[in-house]
Amino acid sequence: MGRLDGKMALITGGAQGLGACFARMFADEGAKVAVSDVNGDGAEATAAAVNERHPGKAFAFRHDVTSTADWEAALDGAAAAMGGINVLVNNAGIGVFGNIETETMESWRKCQEVDVDSIFIGTQLAMPYLKEAAPASIVNISSVAGLIADGNMLSYNVAKASVWMMSKSIALHCARAGYDIRCNSVHPVFTRTPIIDPLVALGGGGEDGECKLTRQIPLRRLGEPEDVGYAVLYLASDESRFVTAAEIKVDGGITAQ
């Protein structure tokens, strides 16, 4: 028996990094997975890799998470392919760097649209699917940047803090409405995925750039995608059936300082 037997998960931002890792881990534990990404070829590649190990378990969709029409198509397609949706992992996101003096309205809006608005749009549209296939779980990927601030990550701090609070509000609504739908957020620290490449470059690149990041983390290493994946897998599973409106920090201890 897999930990996710019977689960049907839509994972956004699944072309690479965390999303691709989640898809592999979910399928290994028995779930069907619908992988979506604005990079349609990348989503197809992730699904193909999963299907090599677990034939017929993975499906791919090109999906701009800022588009209501794309959300409708992805949800309809995923539900048809898998037989429903009872896990939604809102993972798609971008990193934006800038302070109150250098941030532009264009980059500010782009960050909010991809990192925040997409979760509002997608979760609202997903509610009928989740209610029909309950018990269900929503897992929103936030960041430690939603819990602790950085002077040069203004829009990203605001976006990820919004994801944190939105997750709690969704969870409370579902609980009080009597829906068997949980919602939680996950907060990774610097994790070895393409999203940290600009931070490594700012630190001088290569091992030097990584060392400048790891020195900030009590456990003195970067996170690996699987470190985050285990937390997401737990929240998607029935093992976490009494966990909602919570935030799980996968941060090597950085927020305890």
The answer to whether the CB of 246 falls within 8 A of the CB of 182 is no
Q: pLDDT digit of tens for each residue in the chain (257 aa)?
A: 899 999 999 999 999 999 999 999 999 999 999 999 999 999 999 999 999 999 999 999 999 999 999 999 999 999 999 999 999 999 999 999 999 999 999 999 999 999 999 999 999 999 999 999 999 999 999 999 999 999 999 999 999 999 999 999 999 999 999 999 999 999 999 888 887 777 777 777 777 778 788 898 999 989 999 999 999 999 999 999 999 999 999 999 999 99
Please choose, from the candidates 68, 64, 71, the residue with its C-alpha nearest in 3D space to the C-alpha of residue 37. 64
pLDDT for the residue 88? 99
**Domain annotation for the chain: domains and CATH numbers:** 8-193+225-256 (3.40.50.720)
Q: Which residue has the tokens 């800038």?
A: 98
Q: Could you count the other beta carbons within 10 Å of the beta carbon of residue 242?
A: 7
pLDDT for the residue 199? 77
Give the residue numbers marked as catalytic.
156
The total number of residues shown for the chain amounts to 257
pLDDT for the residue 209? 79
Residue 69's identity, in one-letter code, is A
> What is each CA distance from 214 to 98, 199, 203, 206, 207, in whole angstroms?
22, 11, 11, 12, 10
